[in-house]
Structure 1
Amino acid sequence: MLQHIETPQDIEQGVKLLIANDQRLAHVHRMTGLPPLRRQPGGFPALLYMITEQMISLKAAHAIWQRVEAAFHPFDPAVMANAAEEDYRACGLSGPKLNAMRSLATAIAEGSLDCNKLPDLADADVIVQLTRIKGIGDWTAQIYLLACLGRPDAWPAGDVALQIAMQHALDLSSRPTAREMATLARDWRPLRAIAARLLWAYYRHLK
């Protein structure tokens, strides 16, 4: 069984296992083909970008992130922990997001969060470490597990695009809640991160 998702071959292996046991995902796969790897480097900048992405479109997130990069690169946690609110707001960040970024920067600067140690932790412990920071919830922690750490069972159940894709793929009468998503995906464990990639690809197909 996959321990980490590092290559397109890992995606292919995981998809084969899933579609052999669930014809609904087999149908999704026939429409989308193999989904992309969706891996990115981890660490402080990755978490900052994920905070930027929360609850807005990818296009809007990209525009804001360009301003964040211009203002704060090379992303020194101590500098960002002490940056003025106006510096964050000038990037287009909302109050909750700027507070989350400052809380994250403070945690790293003070040593209560060490991003370099996250790859050595179990999924549940990574989630505990990240969600201790105000403004970082389960969605951000699960996306970090999936995209940065390559964990095969990460499942960002609160992701709206994932919920919409699940509704259509499983022919549900309404968009499932995060709680319902956990139940619906139970049989896909321990490869829910592969299923998520398939469903995100399906969501793009639906659009």
Structure 2
Amino acid sequence: MVKVFDLNNYHQLCDLLAEQDPDLAGIMNRYGYPPFWSRPNTFESLVHIILEQQVSLASALAALNKLKAKIGEINPESFLQLNDEELKACYFSRQKTIYVRDLAQKIINGALSLSALALLPANDIRIQLKNIKGIGDWTVDIYLAFTLHHCDIFPIGDLAVVNAVKSLKKLPKDAKKEDLLEISNIWKPYRTLAVMLLWHFYLEERKVKI
């Protein structure tokens, strides 16, 4: 059975990690609990994650809001009615237009069911989602963590997480992914909760520096 977290056990699991790792405890002591970041299991949420690929969160949200202003509810059918120029006006790049169209078409033709995904193990979800153009491991990891709330996800492709680990554990800037993954093993089977704390640390530290 897939281990998931929710609002009922979120703080409890953060406390458990803080007991195991003094560095994570330090984040909690300084900044408190991380927000309960969560998104519904919808087409819109996956579109949002695709938009966040390799751009700032603010840019992705601007594109999502522009799309929402254009079509109202963001669903596969409405999205596929937009032409290239209309999507460009919503800040969609050519590549992301291709990606989201492929996602929309697969949902409409029944090749992908988001409700069915929620019942599957992480590896099976990864296989299905990576059949969509433009969806790789980072997108799947964010979906598993934010939307389905799987407990043990570590998005090694996420720059904020990588930089937070390096800073927190005082690693060199050129530390290898293998070193980061080895450190993440101490947080199993609740690495997603550690990631929430790491994002919290990263965002709060940036506020301090600004």
TM-score (norm 1): 0.91
Measure, in 2, the Cα distance between the counterparts of 1:197 and 1:163: 13
Say if 2:73 is the partner of 1:74: yes
The 1:81/1:181 distance shift into structure 2, 3 A limit, reads farther
Match of 2:3 in 1: 3
| 2:29 match | 30
- Matched residues, number: 205
| Aligned AA (1:186) | N
| Residue 95 (structure 1) shift | 1.6
User: 1:51 Cα deviation (Å)?
Assistant: 0.9
In structure 1, the partner of 2:163 is 164
- Per mean C-alpha deviation after superposition, the further-off stretch among 58-67 and 69-78 is 69-78
C-alpha deviation, 1:106, in angstroms: 0.9
CA contact (8 A) 1:158 1:178 kept: no
User: What residue is the counterpart of 2:180 in the other structure?
Assistant: 181
Q: Which amino acid aligns with 2:111?
A: S
Specify the code of the residue in structure 2 equivalent to 1:118.
L
For the aligned residue pairs, the C-alpha RMSD in angstroms reads 1.8
Amino acid at match of 2:82: A
Taking a change above 3 Å as real, the CA distance of residues 163 and 187 of structure 1, as seen in their structure-2 partners, is same
- Greater CA drift, 121-130 or 194-203: 121-130
- Mapping of residues 118-129 of structure 1, within 5 Å: 118-129=117-128
Q: CA deviation at 1:71?
A: 2.4
Structure 1 position 170, deviation (Å): 0.6
**Paired AA for residue 114 in structure 1:** S
| Deviation of the 1:177 alpha carbon | 5.4
Runs of 4+ with deviation above 3 angstroms = 175-181
- Please give the alpha-carbon distance, in whole angstroms, between the structure 1 residues aligned to 2:33 and 2:179: 26
CA distance in 2, matches of 1:102, 1:198: 34
Structure 2: segments with no counterpart, 5+ residues: none
Residue 202 of structure 2 aligns to which amino acid in structure 1? Answer: Y
Q: Deviation of residue 78 (structure 1)?
A: 3.5
Q: 1:131 to 1:178 in 2, by over 3 A?
A: farther
Q: Which residue of 2 aligns with 1:61?
A: 60
Compute the displacement of 1:11 (Å).
1.9
Unpaired runs of 5+ in structure 1? none
Shift, 1:197, TM fit: 0.6
What is the DSSP-based 3-state SS (H/G/I as helix, E as strand, rest coil) of the residue aligned with 1:185?
A: helix
Contact conserved, 1:146 with 1:154, CA < 8 A, in 2?
yes
Length-normalised TM-score, structure 2: 0.90
